[in-house]
Structure 1
């Protein structure tokens, strides 16, 4: 048996290596032919990659003597993470996964292999890629495609647009929290970037993905807030004591290297359940982009980053040569499990000693962009920053459609979960089940993809009120849409697929304010809109007790998921689908596109099955097989 398994392993390895000949892995960004200086007018390339998704372990045997020997921590296949050994999901055996860097307008082809080996499906969402003309490549499981089944592959093929700091991640189950994510940078020619004169270098090693990392797999238990924070999947949670001394050592921190008097573009990506703040000791951060879209630059001390959000800033290395803390902290007053506080990386000037900075104390005060709380002292909200791209005149007119969405949570009685006949125990029958919702409808993913197999889905799956039902809103193509989001309790980072949104209104609400109260305030003229140079965002952290208003032109037909980017909230129902346009507005479905869903053989429903020449009664449904009353 062991010999057979070994042969199978080598066969699969040969198959994987044969794919590499045509699809280049993104292990080394610099060596990929698509990493180059971008030009305008564009000179597009076809950029091919292969992603292999599989389970691995952090702090595995591949780490040898890490962290006692720090060079072992850099061995191929070693993923130290925060020092805790646990199962993780990796892409190309990297954490974070491969970084893609291409030019605006390139054609991107990514062949994704599902090697998880546990019968679990996979899909990859290209976060913030609008997929104009290619809605089938969005990567949202059961919205735009079937999950990629085990030991099979799916090739995504789309245009790299819009430019900016984007990213990719699994959109199946809890896989993103377990490690299936990476950066996707779409660069521009200097004459296309309005802030290009503010920096000297824009390097792949200055991308920072920040995350709350759990010491247990998220997939089986839903742990998304974590035990510690990580920066590019590096952190310090577990301590290690040398056997020959009392010295305590830790896994390595991330290090960002700079040269004195140079200006560097940093790109921060939030893969976090908690709202986090980024700062660098003794340095100002000149913010030049939000969610990939350029803004009028603004200098701040800290940047707030919610799940799915991205911010680009320029750092000028104008301090004394030395080491400085690059800090990621949980926003004050923001709930995160297990008391997460801070994780540190190092900003290291060329010529500085290879040692940690001295002062661990966190600096206080200063300006903060995008704070977790709108009323934060010295806070600068999204409404107070300007896009470099003027607002489309169509968006300044009265919208054609307006939606008010209340974001919240509720609880159901135990009778929804437990049949009192089967579970007479009072603790169960009196229990309650929590769920998240949009307008009191808790979203359930359909049995087949909405975009390609709508005709296969029972219309009962959709409704306008209730729980645990898929909900959609129809939006005619080329209309102006305004959405008002209202959150009474928790903070929700809401992400839309297929679009960037103009944030035209933000406001704090008194405790207990409902969506009906907001509608009344709006009708009375007490809510204003900013219609000039409103910032473009695809992910918006809607604070507890606040409203956010955004507009967009519905010119990209498709079935676009709009959901909370906290995985736990999404899995528990906080989502809705915006159906833009009609089927006739969509491009043709790609030939031989995968299908999935329910199956039944009509003959079994109406006649007896024949087996070995004898008639056999069909199996009755479970509800008919319940205990029947005695005939006596």
Structure 2
């Protein structure tokens, strides 16, 4: 009877059972226009563990299949602590259809003092701002041993990820891919077949040699040991079997969704042997396709690409024979991931496999990759520091290299401002901004401390969205209202009120005084923005110089179908110009997505609308905050 009951629920698209292993979830299905809406239940349990846990990993990596056992994390092949979600690293992928109802039970079993919240990166929460997952903004922390249930509509569609937003947990394992498939017409121009879009999520991040909190406390930089793609560095000799992506050699061109869970300043490039890439979407939003040889991605960005085989065409080769073809996917880190004096470069290798075999086994794929990697190493084609060339070769096109000194001028580069958005549902009027906020980072006064406008963001004593009336006014400030912050670093809630349904322009400037020459990757919660301008002026600049140029009409703004994103990299010694229509009331954070910078206070808060205009949390929603024992009579 139980099985029949579940079958009926699935058929009618009402409620589906949660499953421990989300990869087989019934909500992972083809999505069509006018298709049924489903209510999708998931459970995420966060625990503390280590790579190569001897009680979980069996004979991994000697027996490669043991590396995929529940609770076995590989990383770069070295032993170190980390966090797991559902005994997986990275955490499980969530795949649903546009407008599904997503319900997720998140349980904190970290067995430490760590608190936890989960942010659904790229979800706008139009009806549920209290589900954004920002600690002491939209909710209280999830404490040890407790469970919080998130519930929200899967919108807007596109490539996203979920990650911890409290403490330094995101880079240590508490993150996972999140895909909301579009409900396109089956023959529409942006339609991607379900089979071509299964298991095609590549979550890449920088990987440190140890846990990062001690480095944050000491204000020092951890060593980047490597990159990992879906939890693997990909060098068999280093005990890290690679991640791989399997495509059948007919039908649509291979489609790959690339997600950066980057933590430090480590721009990551992707190039694929025997292929070019046609980039079609960024952070959920489509633009006119552009074909490139190398793609750079910064922390928290997402890009969708079609893989374009070059001659000889491997799709034709594999399709006309029973031969399986394997191509290397090279991931190379720059910034702090590249250290010439140490003789290494943060890198990872994964593989693209073309096969007619619908049921290729892990053992068969491993044999193909091992043979390929052995051959590449013998011919010096495998990635090493010595042979990894980060500069574009003649004729190459390179996408999004914001950190390069010649970003504005090199004709080989494809910049965000070169892109032209295609029409999509969330495009809004962005003319005639009522608000223009000039924000600056890496000021001389800041002396390397994370801040915006000389203010290091401090979390409130109570959650803004649910207990706003309990927060003392003394906790808020801005550089405009607090002139003392012009000459020193202030610590407060740096909040900017915005009246509902007005256009906001943000001009954010990196003055270039950071000791490590970081390029900051900024994310706006609750919204997407149009990228009107992005330019590097010099190694250093000032907010006064930017304002002067703006008064003189020297800041470049593109109004011809500007690309939309929710995360953007700010060039060192340069600026970006963003606009959005403030039509989603709530408290929405705008912050640098580099882990130490977020924890250190490189954030501001937008209050969109009056408190009375915001969607309120249910009466039983958890509350927390400062408590004074006035009522205790001793």
- TM-score normalised over the length of structure 1: 0.83
Q: Are residue 315 (structure 1) and residue 307 (structure 2) matched?
A: yes
Contact 1:410–1:436, Cα closer than 8 Å, also in 2? no
Map of 2:231 onto structure 1: 233
2:468 to 436, 449, 454: 454
Shift of 1:350: 1.5
Map of 2:108 onto structure 1: 114
Separation in 2, partners of 1:110, 1:409: 41
Shift in CA distance, 524/126, structure 1 to aligned 2, threshold 3 Å = same
Separation in 1, partners of 2:100, 2:625: 34
Q: How does 1:612-623 map to 2 (within 5 A)?
A: none
Q: Are residue 474 (structure 1) and residue 497 (structure 2) matched?
A: yes
Name the SS of the counterpart of 1:230 in structure 2: strand
Unaligned segments of structure 1, at least 5 residues: 1-20, 240-247, 413-432, 611-632
Shift of 1:495: 0.4
Shift in CA distance, 269/552, structure 1 to aligned 2, threshold 3 Å = same
Contact 1:391–1:533, Cα closer than 8 Å, also in 2? no
1:328 to 331, 342, 359: 331
Name the SS of the counterpart of 1:383 in structure 2: helix
Contact 2:76–2:238, Cα closer than 8 Å, also in 1? no
Shift in CA distance, 268/180, structure 1 to aligned 2, threshold 3 Å = same
Map of 2:278 onto structure 1: 286
Shift of 1:410: 5.4
Q: How does 1:287-302 map to 2 (within 5 A)?
A: 287-302=279-294
Map of 1:341 onto structure 2: 346
Contact 1:294–1:388, Cα closer than 8 Å, also in 2? yes
1:369 to 399, 412, 434: 399
Moved more, 260-269 or 563-572: 260-269
Shift in CA distance, 41/22, structure 1 to aligned 2, threshold 3 Å = closer
Q: Could you report, residue by residue, the CA deviation over 1:93-150 in whole angstroms, capped at 9, with x for unpaired residues?
A: 1111111111111110001111112132110000010000100000001111100111
Shift of 1:34: 0.9
Contact 1:394–1:480, Cα closer than 8 Å, also in 2? no
Map of 2:40 onto structure 1: 47
Q: How does 1:154-303 map to 2 (within 5 A)?
A: 154-191=148-185, 195-196=189-190, 201-222=195-216, 226-236=224-234, 250-262=239-251, 263-272=253-262, 273=264, 274-303=266-295
Separation in 2, partners of 1:541, 1:42: 37
Map of 1:90 onto structure 2: 84
Shift in CA distance, 199/529, structure 1 to aligned 2, threshold 3 Å = farther
Map of 2:360 onto structure 1: none
Name the SS of the counterpart of 2:601 in structure 1: coil
Name the SS of the counterpart of 2:547 in structure 1: helix
Q: Are residue 485 (structure 1) and residue 513 (structure 2) matched?
A: no
Name the SS of the counterpart of 2:224 in structure 1: coil
Map of 2:478 onto structure 1: 464
Shift in CA distance, 369/519, structure 1 to aligned 2, threshold 3 Å = same
Name the SS of the counterpart of 2:19 in structure 1: coil
Map of 1:516 onto structure 2: 544
Contact 2:430–2:581, Cα closer than 8 Å, also in 1? no
Aligned length: 556
Separation in 1, partners of 2:248, 2:551: 55
Shift in CA distance, 316/236, structure 1 to aligned 2, threshold 3 Å = closer
Shift of 1:402: 0.5
Name the SS of the counterpart of 1:202 in structure 2: helix
2:417 to 383, 389, 397: 383
Shift in CA distance, 483/42, structure 1 to aligned 2, threshold 3 Å = farther
Contact 1:34–1:101, Cα closer than 8 Å, also in 2? yes
Q: How does 1:72-91 map to 2 (within 5 A)?
A: 72-91=66-85
Separation in 2, partners of 1:164, 1:344: 25
Shift of 1:499: 0.2
Map of 2:361 onto structure 1: none
Shift of 1:512: 3.5
Q: How does 1:410-425 map to 2 (within 5 A)?
A: none
Aligned-pair Cα RMSD in Å: 2.5
Separation in 2, partners of 1:165, 1:181: 14
Shift in CA distance, 336/410, structure 1 to aligned 2, threshold 3 Å = farther
Moved more, 385-394 or 265-274: 385-394
Separation in 1, partners of 2:558, 2:20: 41
Contact 1:66–1:251, Cα closer than 8 Å, also in 2? no
Separation in 2, partners of 1:603, 1:393: 53
Shift of 1:278: 1.0
Shift of 1:295: 1.4
Shift of 1:201: 4.2
Separation in 1, partners of 2:280, 2:428: 26
Separation in 2, partners of 1:23, 1:226: 40
Shift of 1:22: 8.4
Moved more, 135-144 or 392-401: 392-401
Shift of 1:349: 2.0
Q: Are residue 356 (structure 1) and residue 372 (structure 2) matched?
A: yes
Name the SS of the counterpart of 1:446 in structure 2: coil
Contact 2:226–2:345, Cα closer than 8 Å, also in 1? yes
Shift of 1:41: 2.5
Separation in 2, partners of 1:94, 1:491: 31
- TM-score normalised over the length of structure 2: 0.83
